[in-house]
Amino acid sequence: MRTFQMMLALVVFMPVMACSAQTEKKDAKTGSSNKIEAYYFHFTARCMTCKTVEAQAKQNIETLYPELMKQGNISFQSVNLDEDAGKAVGDRLHVYGQTLLAVKGDTKINITNEGFMYAVREPEKFKAIMKEKIDALL
Amino acid sequence: MEFLNRLLENSTMPWLSAMVLGLMTAISPCPLATNITAVGYISKDIENRDRVFINGLLYTFGRAVTYTAIALVIYLGVDQFKFSGFFQRYGEKILGPLLIIIGLFMLDIIKVKFPGMSGLTSKMQKKTRWGYLDVILLGLVFALAFCPYSGVLYFGMLVPMTVASASGLYLPIVFAIATGIPVVIFAWILAYAVSGIGTVYNRVKVFERWFRRIIAVLFIAVGIYYVFRVYL
């Protein structure tokens, strides 16, 4: 039980030590560009809902903006935060956990909650929300 | 789930939203393995139904402590995104090995003698305060094991509601109660059913000893499942 307690103490306090004070959360400089980049950030271990959110988001962008896709003005990228390359992208955009994000220049729109609420059971609603949010970036 | 989604959409009361989010977390397939393990552990004192019920409440209390502490730390100014990222990254990774170690302790395969303490198992089997503390600790630890889905529900939806104002700091407690309810109910039903059968055959003590071994094996099995899921 002592071991259990020590482990618990480690688990509880490590993040407190690891996390520094508040840093800027949003609107970080991401480079000024007219291109819209959609990202789905995840870790290696993934759940069914998570995979569905990614698949739906990708499909929605492809079907909603086929012309922009062809022109290269909108893109979708799946990023694994457990890989060094993915972590670098996450650090640049200040993303450290599972997130669905649309980025244009300095503007970032987080669509994670809507994805997890609707992608599985109401994909059409999720599509409409994505359209509304991304249209605002155009 | 559909019903809960609707309820969440239309809810204007924060406590109701917190409760719905907690229930959604509890019944999603994602944390199912930890819930099954928790049901087993809470029911370990299967001869005593009241005790199983108290265990369930204390397990829920442990979860509430974790959820409130995390929300409080974020409220006090720690970067929410980095903080949640840490739990999403390491929660499941730590959980697998930890479950295996706890299971091995329960089976008495690992024996560590601390100065001034007798064996862990005998401590746990005695009806001392330890018996209550371990259930609280289990709640604390299991609440830390955010799987991707529950991570989004907690960090993406509950925490923003909670940290919006100091008066929202009760919401993680409501959330914790909702995540604990199904576990408590299942544990109690299990205890009720088993002790009923046991009393008929007058073998509850023997059954309890075996039941604890089964729980230990369950811990190891679920631990292995998490290790496979996360590392392999």
pLDDT tens string A59-79: 999 999 998 888 889 999 999
The answer to whether position B2 is within a domain reads no
Token duo for residue B203:
């073998």
Please tell me which of B33-37, B105-109, B175-179, B193-197 the model is most confident about, judged by mean pLDDT: B175-179
The answer to whether position B4 is within a domain reads no
Contacts of B2 in chain A (CB under 8 A): 121
- CB-CB under 8 Å, A96 with B82: yes
- Residue A62 burial (CB count, 10 A): 12
For chain A, which residues lie within 8 Å of any Cβ of chain B, measuring from their own Cβ? 1-5, 7-8, 11-12, 14-16, 18-23, 25, 42-50, 81-82, 90, 94-98, 112-113, 116-118, 121-122
Contacts of A35 (CB under 8 A, 6+ apart): A72, A73, A74, A75, A104
Q: Are B219 and B102 in contact (CB under 8 A)?
A: yes
Torsion of CA B72, B75, B77, B81, to 10 degrees: 90
| Better-predicted residue by pLDDT, B110 or B89 | B89
Looking at residue A8, its pLDDT comes to 46
List the single range of B25-29, B66-70, B221-225 with lowest mean pLDDT.
B25-29
- CB-CB under 8 Å, A1 with B120: yes
- B 153-182 near A (Cβ less than 8 A): 153, 155-157
B133 has pLDDT over 70: yes
Q: Radius of gyration over alpha carbons of chain A, in Å?
A: 17
* Neighbour-count burial of A12, counting CB atoms closer than 10 A to its CB (0-12 exposed, 13-18 middle, 19+ buried): middle
- CB-CB under 8 Å, B134 with A1: yes
B91 has pLDDT over 90: no
pLDDT band at B198 (very low <50, low <70, confident <90, very high): low
- CB-CB under 8 Å, B156 with A116: yes
- The alpha carbon of residue B121 is apart from the nearest alpha carbon of chain A, in Å, by 9
What is the second-level CATH architecture of the domain A29-135?
3-Layer(aba) Sandwich (3.40)
- The alpha carbon of residue B78 is apart from the nearest alpha carbon of chain A, in Å, by 5
The answer to whether position B161 is within a domain reads yes
pLDDT band at B131 (very low <50, low <70, confident <90, very high): low
- CB-CB under 8 Å, B229 with A116: no
Looking at residue B229, its pLDDT comes to 79
Q: What average pLDDT does range B118-125 have in this prediction?
A: 51
A21 has pLDDT over 70: no
Looking at residue A14, its pLDDT comes to 42
Looking at residue A29, its pLDDT comes to 41
> How many angstroms separate the CA atoms of B88 and A53, rounded?
17
| Better-predicted residue by pLDDT, B79 or A42 | A42
Q: What are phi and psi of A102, to 5 degrees?
A: -115, 130
> How many angstroms separate the CA atoms of A91 and A89, rounded?
5
The mean pLDDT value of chain B amounts to 82
> Nearest to residue B169, comparing CAs of B45, B34, B64?
B64
- The alpha carbon of residue A63 is apart from the nearest alpha carbon of chain B, in Å, by 26
According to DSSP, the residues that pair with A39 across neighbouring strands are A77, A101
The answer to whether position B216 is within a domain reads yes
- CB-CB under 8 Å, B140 with A22: no
The answer to whether position B5 is within a domain reads no
Q: What average pLDDT does range A89-106 have in this prediction?
A: 89
> What is the tally of structural domains in chain B?
1
| Better-predicted residue by pLDDT, A101 or B83 | A101
Token duo for residue A54:
């990614």
Burial code of B96-134, b = ≥16 C-beta within 10 A, e = fewer? bbbbbbbbbbbbeeeeeeeeeeeebbebbbeeeebbebb
Looking at residue B165, its pLDDT comes to 77
Domain that holds residue B30: 14-231
pLDDT tens string B135-188: 999 999 999 888 888 888 999 899 988 988 778 889 999 999 999 988 889 888
The answer to whether position B202 is within a domain reads yes
Q: Where do the domains of chain A lie?
A: 29-135
Q: Which ipTM score applies to this complex?
A: 0.73
Where would I find the beta strands (DSSP E) of A1-138? 36-42, 74-80, 99-104, 107-110
Q: Is any Cβ of chain A less than 8 angstroms from the Cβ of B120?
A: yes
Q: Are B106 and B216 in contact (CB under 8 A)?
A: yes
B122 has pLDDT over 60: no
